[in-house]
Amino acid sequence: MTITDKARATGTPPAERLNYKVLLGSLSGSVIEWFDFLVYGTVAALVFSKTYFVTDSEFVSMMFSMASFALTFFFRPVGGVIFAHIGDRIGRKKTLFITLMLMGGGTVLIGLLPDYGTIGIAAPILLILMRILQGIGIGGEWGGALLLAYEYAPRNRRGLYGAVPQMGISIGLALASGVVALLTLMPPDQFLSWGWRIPFVGSVVLLAIGVWIRSSLDETPEFKRVQQSGAVVKLPIAEVFRKHWRAVLVSIGAKATETGPFYIFGTYVIAYAAGLGVENNVVLTAVTTAAVVATVWMPLFGRISDTVPRALLYRLVAIATIVYAFPYYWILNVGETWAVFLATIIGFGLLWGSVNAILGTLIAENFSPEIRYSGATLGYQVGAAIFGGTAPLIATALKEATGGAWWPISIYVIVCALLGLVASFFVKHVAHREI
């Protein structure tokens, strides 16, 4: 019996019923992928500058560590193009298994790598190779997880459905920050030598759960219609570059408002707060709390976007982010526990949570089904590479170049939000027109 048949049997219109199996399948893999990816960002700020990127300068070691985090963002578009081609040619479902295995395999191997003191220069080289595997995997994962939800959604619930896989980012970060926060309570020498490895190796359990959940899902209805109509494109990425490049540019701009502030409010804050003398477990707990707030808020805001124009909501959040860029550091610089929690909950939990809730749906709506995986993935992952992975690196460099000043980092956040604000005015002109 299909979803529609079940709805008729119960007397409930199909548009009013949630497909929980699809939503869980979309969310589960997204959580796993982002946990694997973000636990690296958390540990990189605390451990890898001391155990893998060992130099005579603390600043240089930290820059190398942040660079290893940023490097893989430039492989995300590569993974996106590869798996988006598979997704648009063969199907959304098949890509999700491969991306999960790539991401999970790379994560487990990182947890097993010997450090610099054991194998010397080979340690950071192998670490970077594993990060590249992660980058390629997550580059293809996002589009598959989003479209799994979006292409099953009733038209009046696309904002809600599109917000669910986006929740995987905040849930993954909450898990990553929460686990590392607990591990930092260990004696420092034990944490540096083996404690940090626990979440990497332990992620194999999450990987098994994700594969099990997704194995029972069917292909999306929209992709089935594309196959049945014979509209499958031979080379989707070429079609995107030829006819949909404007939509890709709008998607890149829209991504800027989400991804730059995300890595400032949710990742770089760990290193910055440490410089203020705030204990690591305090700031990690603040990030975890903010991630929980974002997780609860995102489906609510996504549902709101089904009744209020998404472009308008996006515009309002971009303006709010610009306004908050300076007060964020005014609050954070107080250096007290309450200030760290307040600044992080507002910036990461509410502002980032709002823009992230509607970003996936906003981008997906720009492209027709036969090239949607390729177009949405390309815009999203190129935006992530330009404005996301470089954010902690840029913030570290700006702070060092200005003698510890924080205001250039606020300017960076404002620039990212302005780009998204400008892009939001062009969404209507590039959006796919449904018949």
The amino acid at residue 20 is Y
Question: Structure tokens of 338?
Answer: 């309450």
Alpha-carbon distances, residue 53 vs 62, 128, 207 (angstroms): 8, 11, 28
Cβ atoms of residues 362 and 311 within 8 Å: yes
Task: Report the distance separating Cα 334 and Cα 30, nearest Å.
Answer: 35
Contact 8, 143 (CB under 8 A): no
Tell me, what DSSP letter sits at residue 336? Answer: S
CA distances from 267 to 34, 46, 174, 264, 406 (A): 13, 11, 11, 6, 15
Please give the Cα distance from 266 to 356 (Å, whole number). Answer: 13
Burial class (CB in 10 A: 0-12, 13-18, 19+), 48: buried
Q: State how far the Cα of 290 lies from the Cα of 389, in Å rounded to an integer.
A: 20
Instruction: Report the alpha-carbon distance of residue 224 to residue 335 in Å, rounded.
Output: 54
In 276-406, alpha helices (H): 280-304, 310-332, 337-344, 353-364, 372-387, 391-401
pLDDT at 393: 75
d(CA 257, CA 413): 8
Report phi then psi at 268, rounded to 5: -65, -25
Of 221, 246, 351, 248, the C-alpha closest to 294 is 351
Sketch out the chain's domains with CATH numbers.
20-430 (1.20.1250.20)
Contact predicate 405/249, CB 8 Å: no
Q: Which residues contact 394 (CB under 8 A, 6 or more apart)?
A: 412
In this predicted structure, what is the pLDDT of residue 170? Answer: 87
Q: What is the pLDDT of residue 122?
A: 92
What DSSP letter does each residue of 371-383 carry, written as one string? GHHHHHHHHHHHH
Taking the alpha carbons at both ends of the chain, their separation in whole angstroms is 27
Amino acid 18: pLDDT? 66
Tens-digit pLDDT profile for the chain (435 aa)? 444 444 444 444 444 566 877 888 888 878 877 787 778 877 877 788 888 888 878 888 888 887 887 777 778 888 888 888 888 888 777 787 788 888 888 888 888 999 888 899 998 899 988 888 888 888 888 888 888 888 888 888 899 999 999 998 888 878 887 888 788 788 888 888 888 899 888 888 878 887 787 777 777 777 788 778 777 778 888 888 888 889 999 999 999 999 989 888 987 888 888 888 888 788 888 988 999 999 999 999 999 999 999 999 999 999 999 999 999 999 999 989 999 999 999 999 999 999 999 999 999 988 888 888 888 989 988 898 888 767 777 887 888 788 878 898 999 999 999 999 999 998 876 766 665
pLDDT (0 to 100) of residue 389: 66
Quick check: pTM over 0.85? no
**C-beta contacts of 397-405 below 8 A and 24+ residues apart:** 397/63, 399/272, 400/59, 404/275
